[in-house]
Chains A and B, each alone.
Chain A
Amino acid sequence: MLKISNVSKSYGDHLAVNDLSLEAKPGSVIGLLGPNGAGKTTTISMITGLIKPDSGSIDIFNSGSPEETQSRQNIGVAPQSLALYEPLSAYDNLSFFGKIYGLRGSALDTAIDDALALADLADRKDEPVNNFSGGMKRRLNLAIAMINKPKLLLLDEPTVGVDPQSRNALLDSVVALRDQGHTIIYTTHYMEEAQKVCDSVFIMDRGKILAAGTIGELVHKYGGEYAIHIQRQEAVEIIESSNPLVTLNELNIDPDSAFIQVRPPDLEQVFFNLTGKQLRD
């Protein structure tokens, strides 16, 4: 389906992507996680053919590089920015991009209807996008990426700046699309999103893949121990343990005098363990 082999890309002295390799199988959601400047968007841009890698190769559907027209016909992209013609209506945006992908007549009408249903915008389809809320625009951004029913869908931080309801709806849409057989590359730095929708995850930093695998594998391998939070009045004590039950028994804490919370290792812990907690530009 999608195979990236030893791809590198530099901007001057800055190595944006360093010897990246990954493979995505049909009907799966691949998460690309990383802090700002990790190289996620550059990777997406190389997969879509907007940026040429300095070295390495990208093969889509065994039909060659993303520069091939046939390869692009099967790719849908929802860029990080809202790539919409805001003075035009939702319908006109969908119609325009549908036609660009060669859809005409009833095929176009069906695709527009499906996309509007996916974005839950059917009743607002004739309004200029200018009038839409941030969440509606995000949903339309995703809907346009789906207009050509692509086999490979690239979603670059698709939930940035949306409210919890719209985020939830977007994540549900992603899961539904995966269930329909679409392959999805999903970049984000919201760990809970990745945990909800991704089948496997690649954690990147400074252009390099630091770890890859299913979420369970990564948590097991890099998640560390359970975190036991013990709160007594204002003071909070955090104790790490591989076996929290044993630890709690040993501590013999009076449950009436403290609030105890046991947190299992999660993807966020994996992320911090791999990329550190240092602030990024």
Chain B
Amino acid sequence: MNIQSMLLISIKDIRLLFSDKAAVFFTLFFPLIMATFFGTVFSGGGGSAGISLAIADKDNSTLSQAYIESLSESSALNVQRLDEATAKEQVRKGKITAVLIIPEGFEKSKQSLFDNDVPTIELGIDPSRKASASMLKGLLMAQAAEDMQKQFTDTSLMIDEVNKGLESIEVEQFDDPELQTMLSSVKTWMEKSQQQANVQEDEISAVDDSNAESGDVEENSFSGFTPLTIEDKEIQRNKTGPQNAYAISFPQGMVWGIIGAITTYSLALISEVNSGTLGRLSSAPISRMTILGGKALACFMTIVFVCLVLVMVAMLFFKVSIYSWPILLTSILSCAFGFSGMMMLLSVLGKTEKAASGISWAILMLLAMTGGGMIPLIFMPKWMASIGELSPIKWAVVSFEGSFWRQYSFVDLMPTTGLLLTLGVVCFLIGSYIFNRREIN
């Protein structure tokens, strides 16, 4: 193979690509748009779904259920019911903001409120999420207070009940002065409580408002009344998760850039066959392998360029940081190699540009769908993720994510790199074999 000629051909091909506005759009700008769009969508820029809260109900009582239901109704919370271990794991992975554990005995504590046995719950949250923690505590406290108001401070209801008791004593001529004295005392206490409750209602609504705004609420700060004790449990979030949604969408965007590049170059080869330029090149004193090598090199360089541009944009404009540059460069180079080889194979699957375009897009769409090019891998159903194991697109996405946020070491990267390199070699050899057997006029 003549390296100089190969370079000449690749530079010429890159110039041709960049002179074609549609090709530039699909190779560079379309992936950028995709990455930005999906990054924004997954960031929740279109309106928050509330703080995600997992609840593990160990009490499993009527009152705990009621408490959960009342929390679920809050628009500020996105509540999921999970077991304790799963919930904590989700918090560690950063998929859920916090976990609320309702311990056994919650209902009992709530029912014996006048004995100062205040119900206790555990709130597990990453200590770095201070703002979310404060806001959550405020919301939980306010909700608990509201529940207690309904259940225990409904004095009219309770006075009614006491009155009924007193009336039944009078009707039945039940002669028990001690009981009558006690019920009268309860009634007097209830009437006083009712007056207090009116004052507290105003205070609770004031606290609710301030919680929603600042999230700065201390536990047991409910004036004159303690509806709930919140015990803090720190759950350290693993830092291996993506820094933000763009750390997920840009690897996808890079894959779309690769798809754009290989589609463009595979069509360019057929276009050269049809226009006669390949025949002209083939009659020059260079081998066919040099020509094919030049085309593969052009594809390789374009992929590297597009990936690096996307990485730069992600870093400069979307606050995505790269965990490891050596891992990233290895990923990009192995992807560029693998997919350049794939380009060679795709370019010989059709004899006309239309046929090749159809075949290429059909294959690449299928690989992209199953490989995380459309749905981020972390949101993919298990069955689809299993099929995706066979998709080179997935190998590429995983490699890129390895350097963005999965914290891959070279050992972790080896399987996907090995697969991509093998893909490149095998596809290039098959493609070249088929191409060399074809006669060019």
Contacts and interface: CB of A to CB of B under 8 A. Distances in A.
B441 A84 contact: no
B5 interface: yes
Nearest to A83: B276
A82 interface: yes
Interface string B271-292: 0001111011111111000000
B312 interface: no
Interface residues of B, number: 24
A87 B17 CA distance: 9
B12 interface: yes
B284 A84 contact: no
Given A50-B440, A73-B285, A102-B285, A144 B276 contact: no
B173 interface: no
Contacts, number: 80
Contacts of A50: 279, 282-283, 439-441
B390 interface: no
B8 A96 contact: yes
Interface stretch (A41-49, A158-166, A233-241): A41-49
Given A50-B441, A83-B276, A101 B12 contact: no
A87 B277 contact: no
Contact of A72 (B9, B19, B274, B284): B284
B5 A100 contact: yes
Contacts of A82: 275-276
Interface string A75-99: 1010111111101100010001101
A103 B19 CA distance: 25
B15 interface: yes
A41 B275 contact: no
A85 B277 contact: yes
A51 interface: yes
B20 interface: yes
Contacts of B439: 45, 50-52
Main secondary structure of the interface of B (DSSP, over half): helix
Contact of B280 (A66, A73, A83, A87): A83
Interface in B41-74: none
Given A41-B441, A50-B441, A81-B275, A97 B19 contact: no
Interface string B312-329: 000000000000000000
A97 B282 CA distance: 11
Contact of B276 (A49, A51, A52, A80): A80
B280 A77 contact: yes
B434 interface: no
B11 to A, nearest CB: 9
Nearest to A75: B283
Contacts of A41: 441
Given A77-B283, A97-B284, A51 B441 contact: yes
Interface residues of A, number: 33
Contact of B277 (A66, A75, A83, A128): A83
Nearest to B291: A100
Interface in B1-37: 4-5, 8-9, 12, 15-16, 19-20
Contacts of B4: 99
A14 to B, nearest CB: 14
A100 B286 contact: yes
Nearest to A41: B441
B279 A99 contact: no
Nearest to B286: A100
A41 B4 CA distance: 30
Nearest to A154: B283
A49 B285 CA distance: 10
Contacts of A51: 439-441
B441 A88 contact: no
Given A49-B283, A51-B441, A88 B15 contact: yes
A257 interface: no
A226 B38 CA distance: 81
Nearest to B4: A99
Given A79-B276, A84-B277, A100 B284 contact: yes
B12 A96 contact: yes
Contacts of B280: 77, 79, 83, 97, 144
Nearest to A101: B284
Given A50-B282, A100-B286, A88 B16 contact: yes
Interface in A46-69: 48-52, 66, 69
B102 to A, nearest CB: 69
A277 B232 CA distance: 100
Contacts of A70: 285
Contacts of A52: 439
A72 B19 CA distance: 30
Interface string B281-309: 11111100000000000000000000000
A48 B281 CA distance: 11
Contacts of A45: 279, 439-441
A82 B279 CA distance: 11
Which of A50, A72, A75: most chain B CB closer than 10 A?
A50
A48 B440 CA distance: 11
Contacts of B20: 87
Interface in A129-143: none
B285 A101 contact: yes
Contacts of A88: 12, 15-16, 19
Interface centre among B4, B12, B274, B282 (most CB of A within 10 A): B12
A100 B19 contact: no
B279 A85 contact: no
Contacts of B282: 48-50
25 contacts: A45-B279, A45-B439, A45-B440, A49-B282, A50-B439, A50-B441, A52-B439, A69-B285, A72-B284, A72-B285, A75-B283, A77-B279, A79-B280, A81-B274, A84-B275, A87-B16, A87-B20, A88-B15, A88-B16, A88-B19, A97-B280, A100-B281, A100-B284, A100-B286, A102-B285
Given A72-B283, A101-B284, 10 more contacts: A45-B279, A48-B282, A48-B283, A50-B279, A69-B285, A77-B283, A81-B276, A100-B9, A100-B284, A101-B285
Interface of B: 4-5, 8-9, 12, 15-16, 19-20, 274-277, 279-286, 439-441
Closest 4 CB pairs of A and B: A83-B276, A81-B276, A87-B19, A48-B283
